[in-house]
Each structure stands twice: as structure tokens, then as C-alpha cells.
Amino acid sequence: MATGFSAETEQAIARVRVEVAELHAELIRYGLVVWTGGNVSGRVPGADLFVIKPSGVPYDALAAGDMILCDLDGTVVEGSDGSDRSPSSDTAAHAYVYRHMPEIGGVVHTHSTYACAWAARGEAIPCVLTAMADEFGGPVPVGPFAIIGDDSIGRGIVETLAGHRSRAVLMRNHGPFTIGSDARDAVKAAVMVEDVARSVHIARQLGEPVPIPQEAIDRLFDRYQHVYGQSPTTDGGAA
């Protein structure tokens, strides 16, 4: 590969390639995709680059060298591994998110069944479970309808999630997109949004779900994001 990047950047690209390739197996493991639909991308730390799945390639055939390296305009880096393939049809959307949300290091799109069902109804998933308060800090919002192929989906993601605590958005009549601090974090959000979409759907079959008060949502979110899983401290931190 002759791309002219520094050795440090090349190493970072290689690490992200491996991580993104391996994370696609998690989408299958949790039943979030069928056939070749869906994708994971990861930003390359320290560079205006990201790595994304090629278009139309079966999941069991994906390897690190098949991942496609793009700049933040969504343009494939010529001469890089995988550059002979076409990138995911959602590449422009991912690129838009990376350009406009510099804190984001990973983006995931799936066609998971229950999240897509909520997207088909154009309805946000209400925050009626503590797991939702923990992970998303409130309801999972709905983004606008947008056509695949340009950055329209990316614009909808950014506009919907701007100022929102949720790391997931249900793009209307399409499906879920999730963001994270890195690709693995975004995959976790994709797994969790399908889990709560299923649970809340089932709850509605039994009756009207009971909402969680906003004060409790705020406390749960703060605890999960800043205390849960942390090492104990001498001043009484979480166990």
C-alpha cells in the first residue's frame, strides 16, 4: 500500500481495519443484520480518515484487508487496501457524521427487526426501562426520511442527535443508526437499541408502558455514564 501516510498513521489504520472487520461478526452474533445489509465504520485516530465495510460483500468473507479507507468526504483513498472495491452505500452518511461530530469515533447501521419496526411507524421509543435511561438518557428519537446514496441520511442523523443524549436514531422508514466514542461503542449501542425496541414493543402488547420520571432518568444516566463500572475510591465510589 502506497498512500504516503506516516508510519504512525499506517499503524492506526491497520488497527482500525482489524477492529472494524471483527466487529461485523458481532452484528451477526446479535441478529442485527441479514444478507449483506448493515455496516460498521471506525474513525482513524489522529487522521481525517475512517474505515468502512465494502458494499455487497458477505459477512463471512470480510477481512481487515477488505475494509475500505476513506477521507472525511467519503472519498476512497487510492492505492489503499480494498480500494478496488466499492464502499458501503452508506459511506456518505458516515462521512457526514464524522465531519460534523468530531467527538464520534464509530458509526453503525443495522436493519435489526424491532428497531426497524419502530422506524417504519415513525415513532420514537419511549424511555420506559432503566436500561434505556442508562444507555440513551431518554427516548430513542426518530430522524427524517432520507434517500440512500448521498449525505442526506448523515444530515438527518446529526440534526436529530444534536444536543440529544441518545447514541441511537431511528431513521424514518429505514432503520437504526448508532454512534459511539469508537466503533465498538457504536456496536454496543446498536445491540442495546434493538434490545429495548423489542422489550418496549412487547410491553405495548400487554398494555401501556409506564414512563420513568425525568428526574430518575437523569440520575440513572449520570450514574451509568460516570459511576457504573468504575473502580472504588476512598471517598465512597461505586462498588
Would you put residue 74 in left (φ > 0), alpha (ψ -120 to 50) or beta? left
Q: Any idea of the CA torsion for 81, 82, 84, 88, to the nearest 10 degrees?
A: -150
pTM of the model: 0.94
First-to-last alpha carbon distance for the chain, in angstroms, is 48
Structural domains for the chain: 7-226 (3.40.225.10)
Whether 58 contacts 74, CB under 8 Å: no
C-alpha cell at 152: 442526506
**What is the model's pLDDT at position 231?**
56
Q: What average pLDDT values come out for the chain (239 residues) when binned by 10 residues?
A: 84 98 97 96 98 94 96 97 95 98 98 98 98 98 94 98 96 98 98 98 97 98 88 44
Strands 106-109 and 39-43: antiparallel
**What is the model's pLDDT at position 235?**
41
Which are the contacts of 203, defined by CB distance < 8 A and separation ≥ 6? 128, 209
C-alpha cell at 223: 450514574
